[in-house]
Amino acid sequence: MIAFIIRRLLQSLLVMGTVAFIAFSLFNFVGDPVNNMVGQEATEAEREYIRQLLGLDQPFYIQFMRFVGNVLQGDFGQSYRLGQPVLNVLGDRVPATLELVFVAAVMALVIGVPMGVYTGLKRYAISSKLMLTISLIGVSLPTFVIGIMLILVFSVWLNWLPSFGRGQTVNVGWDSNLFSLEGWKSMIMPAITLCLFQLTLVMRLVRAEMLEVLRTDYVKFARARGLSNRAVHFGHALKNTLMPVITITGLQVGGLIAFAIITETVFQWPGMGLLFLQAIQFVDIPVMATYLLLVALVFVIINLIVDMTYYFVDPRLRTEGKGGGH
Amino acid sequence: MGANCFGAAFIAAVLAVGTGVADAKTFRYSTTGDILGLDPYTNNEGPTNTMKSNIYEGLIHRSYDLSLSPGLATEWTQVDPLTWEFTLRQGVKFHNGNDFTADDVLVSYERIKQPASNMTFVVASIDKVEKVDDYKVRIVTKYPDPTLLLNMPNFWIMDKEWLEANNAMDIAEGASVSTYANLNTNGTGPFKVVEWQPDTQVVLEPNADWWGEPQHNLTQAIFKPIGNDATRVAALLSGEIDLMYPVPLQDIPRVNDDPTSTVMEGPELRTIFLGFDQHRDELMDMPGSGKNPFKDVRVRKAFYQAIDINLIQKRVMRGASRPAGLMIAPGINGYPKDLDVRFPYDPEASKQLLAEAGYPDGFPVTLDCPNDRYVNDEEICKAVVPMLKRVGIDIKLNAQTKSLHFQKIGRSGTPWETSFFMLGWTPGSYDAHNPLMQLMTVDGEGQGTWNSGRFSHPRVEELTDMIAGETDVDKRNAMIAEAMEIHRDQVGHITLHQQALAWGVRSDTVADVKQRPQNDVDLRYVTMK
Amino acid sequence: MADSKTIEKPIVEEHMGLFARIGDSFRRFLDGDIFYSFIHSPITVIAFVVTVICFVLAAFAPWLAPHNTNDIATLLLDNAELPPFWSSYTASWGEELHGRTEFLLGTDPDGRDVLSGIIFGMQVSLIVGFGSVILAMAIGITLGLISGYIGGKTDSVIMRIADIQLSFPAILVALLLFGGIKSVLPPAERQDLAIWVLILAIGVSNWVQFARTVRGSTMVEKSKEYVQAARVIGLHPILIMIRHVLPNVMGPVLVIATINLALAIITEATLSFLGVGVPPTEPSLGTLIRVGQQYLFSGFWWMTIFPALALVVLALSVNLLGDWLRDALNPKLR
């Protein structure tokens, strides 16, 4: 068991190292940070000086080695754009994004699961088909269009909700939107925008699982025992459905963080995604690298948890090592 | 053309100067990006410089109308062609209570000229700064510099004791190591920084001990950057902010229709132009041909005359631009008004010129264009492309984000990797010598950094060197005019226009704000209702 | 004579057999469950018809679109920002602009007919969508087959690569790849090749799902007796995989492909919002929306709403087809 975890951890480190390496090989193609930093009047000599200072005159693998060396000592460098330690800058942003992603994921589950159950049980009802079709619209429109439409309707026309930023936050160890009405007002539109895709996914997943579980002998047997529909559906069927749903939702957190880039840009939500996009536009290499490492870390951790859960739950997998994906 | 569009659109100017202000007046304003740091000598960039000028002051202040007035120096005299004496203002205190003296000026000079500083151009002509007494300094230049005073407003003065106490004397370039001075401030200016939350807000409050008489009536100012254009407009319309810029041109009527919002328009100093590769023997878009059509002035003129700038002004810029015949705008020192005349739009002449030059069927070329730098930059390029196509040029458009665009057309890496490009320029010193040196010449140390097409004319090179040291204003202006005229007639670049400023202002909360041509908000001049 | 006959006959028979097989499977398809479920699902039929219309419009855009908007020389600024034919508004310079039947759905800020722009844009979006899905499918199936069939070290290396790929969200991969690939191309070609770079970027970022599915099925098939038997009689492993394993995994692959097609079209639109993608002179649906949304607040709704509608209709139809296909091909649900 310990050997399994250690092996997985080593593999994870390898994954993260590779992620960072590939990232560095691509950074050169994002543009030239020096021009953004020094302004138009700087002479070529001054530009060259800055370039040397930042090590940008070195080939990318040397830059990469230096970054890794510093990271191993806990130093993630300084943001080119903001002139502050990357960890400080990112530290302020992580809660903003995690709260947004958390609320979006919860919304997706709370709305998606009942809808999935309903469409699974009433497979042939018109209402089910309607729900399935409408839910697809959510994944057929780009996120930014949804966000801008929401702003147009709820901020500009109706003036109900703030159009940008986190508004008033409450400090509960971190700056939080969850503990005040103002905070929730700022949160609601970005969260809806972000959750639509997951919502559709969760609903479809629950439906598919329900359809399968309802056909199993186990459920048929429960029915034969004379249990009520209600007991069968919620006690047996749904319970068996939820495990894969939660797993997939967990795995999708990475996707949510990625899509938060768009949502945060539209709503000027001061999270990691906005930071990353601005980092790309400014060619803020330390911030880009750290962000990608962080996303990789989140993914690695989630994957590890999922694998370990499977390991405990399903002894058959102990020999095979890992479960196939969806 | 367009003069009527620039009527001073200042909103009801009820100055609340001197009236006692009891109630809280918070001014919230926004633009596209956050400041890049608070160290006055790093990051020479528009919004960042504006923020610094609320906090720090120079010996001379540049007012909203670009006129120079006493700042930390009360008066100055020129002793000989190389030497200036500045008398310093007495009784001025930094935000932390330290006194301002000549030692602070000396230390600031030492600091601003460090290699990692991005503001060295401000003091480039200075040989040394000497202390005469505690309230008098002498500045000696390397050569007679007619633009010295013009640069002084950006020479922000820092506090010697504060720098020493916090070990912040060395500018580690804002990016590689963060210094104390990048995160903390201690100026003499009318505003103090309370808090900087990157990408969220900068909170400022007035400096109660400021030496001057405040013209503003603010009790607090909050700067909130919003990157997305649509979101920024929405924030203004819904009253979440009091002022924002730039208003996307297409949204000007929408903002003006709103009963509580209005758009202030005014001229900006930035000139937008297109440049050609006049150096390579073979155009990058014509590999194997061995030809570079842009070496022929007729081809350059054909491109110029194929572009209908008035139509672009009307449709793309919605009236918010001033078609330009020169590389410098009115208001720039040395601007020769009489020469600011464009070649007429004439596609037939254009075709004729191309035929004469030996390209009756045109030739392939790619236009490099930024899509997030200037007002409607991509839209202007998209309008230019069909116009050139109609005179037979096989033109393609490469519009990309500014980091990539400037890397491509700039000097680093593969230098000037462009055949045809868009660029905009505001002279940092507000003087005509700056664009001549940076854009229109190649010959000399530190010259032609952004002359990406490497336009070069022997007389212009000569004149530019002479202008640098000429202190006789009339002679100097005549030389500037001659250089500008040669450049115009040689079609060194296609000058397009000066873009207009467009600020969205809440008329229910803001009483007055002064719009400066460098497109920034100086909090000194903001009054609220 | 007799000899030649014995040689020819099997070939002919094989050919006959092939045609017969195709005809047979088509007949089976018409009689079968899949066609039955298709014809009895009106939503699916509508989706199918809409998708076909979109494909036809895209394929024959130069003949069907009222204006050739890809010929940028025809774009006149004087025709810019016209409203749809039934409406009018007062422009900022005071002129009353009336819609014209020449431009049914109005024009955009460049003077491009919105309807024609949508038709040509659909072409670009579909090329990007199909191109990237085919690429993702090719990479995914190949790696999945190799991974599943060979197993062992090869398998774990490929699956590790898949993990790394997954830990970069697709949109990020596409974003970084696009910049990377584009900058190594010769400058004169970059604009022409942008669309292929986009296909490469989106395609490469989406192969993992295919690979995982194919790998799983391959592992199952591999252990079956017929594959073992084929191996014993000395058939080449590649042949075994292509002839026996591939047909069995085509069902799920087709479903993933359909859904990924919609996803790729949306990804292209999203990338264009981030300022990355095809040149704005040959806009895709995403580019049209990106440009149009800047004019939404100023009341030029037709520049965004119509392209957005077209995108929704297209993506929704493809998604619905994918949905139906998933259910129809799932034997457990019949």
Percent of chain B's residues with pLDDT above 70: 94
Q: Are B447 and B333 in a shared domain?
A: yes
Query: Can you tell me the mean pLDDT for C295-304?
Result: 86
- Among B114-118, B289-293, B424-428, C64-68, name the one with the lowest average pLDDT: B114-118
Does residue A221 register a pLDDT over 90?
Answer: no
Torsion angle of C-alpha atoms B174, B178, B183, B187, degrees rounded to 10? -60
Residue A135 distance to chain B (closest CA, Å): 26
- Residues of chain A contacting residue B199, judged by C-beta atoms under 8 Å apart: 270, 274-275, 278
Does residue B474 register a pLDDT over 90?
Answer: yes
Q: Would A149 be classed as within a structural domain?
A: yes
Q: Which domain holds residue C125?
A: 62-66+114-333
Residue A193, domain CATH: 1.10.3720.10
Mutate to test the interface with C, among A140, A197, A252 (most CBs of C within 10 A): A140
**Structure tokens given for B509:** 């909360």
Q: Are B287 and B186 in a shared domain?
A: no
**Structure tokens given for B4:** 């009527």
Question: Residue B20's pLDDT band (boundaries 50, 70, 90)?
Answer: very low
* 3-state class (DSSP) for residue A169: coil
Residue A272 distance to chain B (closest CA, Å): 11
- Residues of chain A contacting residue B232, judged by C-beta atoms under 8 Å apart: 164
Does residue C5 register a pLDDT over 60?
Answer: no
Q: Would B22 be classed as within a structural domain?
A: yes
Task: Kindly give, in sequence order, each residue whose CB lies less than 8 Å from that of residue C93, ignoring residues fewer than 6 positions away.
Answer: B314, B318, B319
Name the more confident of B59 and A139. B59
**Structure tokens given for B343:** 């070649």
Does residue A217 register a pLDDT over 90?
Answer: no
Is B510:B244 a contact under the CB 8 Å cutoff? Answer: no
Beta-strand pair A175-176/B26-30: unpaired
Q: Are B514 and B483 in a shared domain?
A: no
Does residue A233 register a pLDDT over 80?
Answer: no
Mutate to test the interface with B, among C191, C198, C303 (most CBs of B within 10 A): C191
Residue B444: what pLDDT?
A: 79
First to last CA, chain A: 25
**Structure tokens given for C324:** 């139906």
Task: Domain count for chain A, please give it.
Answer: 1
Q: Would B340 be classed as within a structural domain?
A: yes
Q: Do B253 and C77 touch (CB under 8 A)?
A: no
Residue A211: what pLDDT?
A: 80
Q: Do C78 and B311 touch (CB under 8 A)?
A: yes
CA distance A172 to B368: 49
Q: Would B233 be classed as within a structural domain?
A: no
Name the more confident of C223 and C86. C86
Task: Kindly give, in sequence order, each residue whose CB lies less than 8 Å from that of residue A46, ignoring residues fewer than 6 positions away.
Answer: A38, B115, B118, B120
Does residue C236 register a pLDDT over 70?
Answer: yes
How would DSSP label each residue in B107-125? HHHHHHTSTT-S-GGGGTT
Q: Would C12 be classed as within a structural domain?
A: no
Of B36, B230, B446, Cβ closest to residue A83: B36
> B399 forms bridges with which residues in the sheet?
B369
Chains sharing 3 or more CB pairs under 8 A with chain A = B, C
- A173 CB neighbour count, 10 Å cutoff: 6
- Among B114-123, C82-91, C246-255, name the one with the lowest average pLDDT: C246-255
Q: Are B62 and B97 in a shared domain?
A: yes
Residue B13: what pLDDT?
A: 33
CA distance B129 to B78: 14
Residue B328, domain CATH: 3.10.105.10
Q: Do B229 and C275 touch (CB under 8 A)?
A: no
Q: Are B471 and B324 in a shared domain?
A: yes
Q: Would A55 be classed as within a structural domain?
A: no
Name the more confident of B454 and A77. B454
Does residue A324 register a pLDDT over 50?
Answer: no
- Among A98-107, B441-450, B494-503, name the one with the lowest average pLDDT: B441-450
Q: Would A305 be classed as within a structural domain?
A: no
Q: Would B242 be classed as within a structural domain?
A: no
Does residue B218 register a pLDDT over 60?
Answer: yes
Is B484:B336 a contact under the CB 8 Å cutoff? Answer: yes
Task: Domain count for chain C, please give it.
Answer: 1
CA distance B130 to C72: 63
Least Cα distance to B132 among B140, B143, B124, B142 occurs for: B140
Is B487:B440 a contact under the CB 8 Å cutoff? Answer: yes
Name the more confident of C221 and C146. C146
Q: Are B11 and B88 in a shared domain?
A: yes
Q: Which chain B residue shows the shortest CA-CA distance from C274?
A: B401
For C185-209, letters b (16+ CB in 10 Å) and e give: eebbebbeebbebbbbbbbbbbbbb
- Residues of chain A contacting residue C159, judged by C-beta atoms under 8 Å apart: 322
Q: Do B398 and C78 touch (CB under 8 A)?
A: no
Mean pLDDT rounded to a whole number for chain B: 88
Least Cα distance to A100 among A12, A27, A167 occurs for: A167
Of A19, A152, A255, Cβ closest to residue C164: A19
**Structure tokens given for A275:** 């930071």
Q: What is the pLDDT of residues A177-189, one digit of tens each?
A: 788 888 888 899 9
Least Cα distance to A275 among A97, A78, A146, A32 occurs for: A97
CA distance C310 to C303: 12
Q: Which chain C residue shows the shortest CA-CA distance from B5?
A: C93
First to last CA, chain C: 53
Mean pLDDT rounded to a whole number for chain C: 81
CA distance A66 to A88: 20
Does residue C13 register a pLDDT over 60?
Answer: no
Q: Are B388 and B459 in a shared domain?
A: yes
Q: Are B425 and B277 in a shared domain?
A: yes
Question: Residue A41's pLDDT band (boundaries 50, 70, 90)?
Answer: confident
Q: Are B326 and B388 in a shared domain?
A: yes
Q: Are B62 and B165 in a shared domain?
A: yes
Tell me the whole-structure pTM to 2 decimals. Answer: 0.83
Does residue B137 register a pLDDT over 90?
Answer: yes
DSSP B19: -
Q: Would B478 be classed as within a structural domain?
A: yes
Query: Can you tell me the mean pLDDT for A246-260?
Result: 75
Query: Can you tell me the mean pLDDT for C34-58?
Result: 85
Percent of chain C's residues with pLDDT above 70: 86
Q: Would A308 be classed as within a structural domain?
A: no
Q: Do B178 and A32 touch (CB under 8 A)?
A: no
Winning range, highest mean pLDDT, from A32-46, B10-24, B261-275, C158-172: B261-275
Chains sharing 3 or more CB pairs under 8 A with chain B = A, C
Q: Which chain A residue shows the shortest CA-CA distance from B371?
A: A281
Q: Would C254 be classed as within a structural domain?
A: yes
Of A38, A53, A268, Cβ closest to residue B176: A53
Q: Do C212 and A23 touch (CB under 8 A)?
A: no
Q: Which domain holds residue B372?
A: 268-500
Does residue C40 register a pLDDT over 90?
Answer: no
Query: Can you tell me the mean pLDDT for C184-212?
Result: 82
Query: Can you tell me the mean pLDDT for B281-302?
Result: 92
Task: Kindly give, in sequence order, each residue whose CB lies less than 8 Å from that of residue A192, ignoring residues fewer than 6 positions away.
Answer: A107, A150
Residue B327: what pLDDT?
A: 94
Query: Can you tell me the mean pLDDT for B298-307?
Result: 96
Q: Do A281 and B402 touch (CB under 8 A)?
A: yes
Is C210:C261 a contact under the CB 8 Å cutoff? Answer: no
Q: Would C21 be classed as within a structural domain?
A: no
Residue A30 distance to chain C (closest CA, Å): 6
Burial class (CB in 10 A: 0-12, 13-18, 19+), B113: middle
Name the more confident of C137 and A300. C137
Q: Are B220 and B277 in a shared domain?
A: no
- Among A13-17, A114-118, B79-83, name the one with the lowest average pLDDT: A13-17
CA distance B414 to B407: 9
Is C155:C219 a contact under the CB 8 Å cutoff? Answer: no
Of B254, B366, B371, Cβ closest to residue C298: B254
Q: Would A258 be classed as within a structural domain?
A: yes
Task: Kindly give, in sequence order, each residue whose CB lies less than 8 Å from that of residue B133, ignoring residues fewer than 6 positions away.
Answer: B102
Q: Would A293 be classed as within a structural domain?
A: no
Q: Would B169 be classed as within a structural domain?
A: yes
Residue A196 distance to chain C (closest CA, Å): 14
Q: Would B252 be classed as within a structural domain?
A: no
Is B367:B395 a contact under the CB 8 Å cutoff? Answer: yes
Q: Which domain holds residue A125?
A: 89-284
Is C283:C117 a contact under the CB 8 Å cutoff? Answer: yes
Does A136 contact C at CB distance below 8 Å?
yes
Q: What is the pLDDT of residues B458-468, one digit of tens each?
A: 999 999 999 98
Residue C7: what pLDDT?
A: 42
Residue B386: what pLDDT?
A: 93
Task: Domain count for chain B, please give it.
Answer: 2
- Residues of chain B contacting residue C296, judged by C-beta atoms under 8 Å apart: 230
**Structure tokens given for B76:** 């100055």
Q: Do C262 and A140 touch (CB under 8 A)?
A: yes
- A294 CB neighbour count, 10 Å cutoff: 18
Residue A142: what pLDDT?
A: 86
Q: Would C98 be classed as within a structural domain?
A: no
E strand or H helix at B436: helix B433-439
Burial class (CB in 10 A: 0-12, 13-18, 19+), A176: middle
- Among A3-12, A16-25, A226-235, B478-487, name the one with the lowest average pLDDT: A226-235
Name the more confident of A41 and C263. C263
- C10 CB neighbour count, 10 Å cutoff: 10
Query: Can you tell me the mean pLDDT for A70-91?
Result: 84
Residue B14: what pLDDT?
A: 33
Beta-strand pair B394-400/B364-370: parallel
Residue C4: what pLDDT?
A: 42
Residue B114: what pLDDT?
A: 87
Secondary structure percentages of chain C, helix, strand, coil, to 5 = 75, 0, 25
**Structure tokens given for B117:** 């500083």
Q: Are B137 and B218 in a shared domain?
A: yes
**Structure tokens given for B214:** 């405040």
Residue C27: what pLDDT?
A: 66
Q: Which chain B residue shows the shortest CA-CA distance from A52?
A: B176
Give contacts of A 291-310 with C, CB under 8 A. Answer: 292, 295-296, 299-300, 303
Least Cα distance to A135 among A202, A74, A75 occurs for: A202
Least Cα distance to C187 among B400, B417, B276, B295 occurs for: B417
Q: Would A159 be classed as within a structural domain?
A: yes
Q: Would A110 be classed as within a structural domain?
A: yes
Q: Do A266 and B231 touch (CB under 8 A)?
A: yes
Residue B329: what pLDDT?
A: 92
Of A54, A266, A268, Cβ closest to residue B176: A54
Q: Do B402 and A45 touch (CB under 8 A)?
A: no
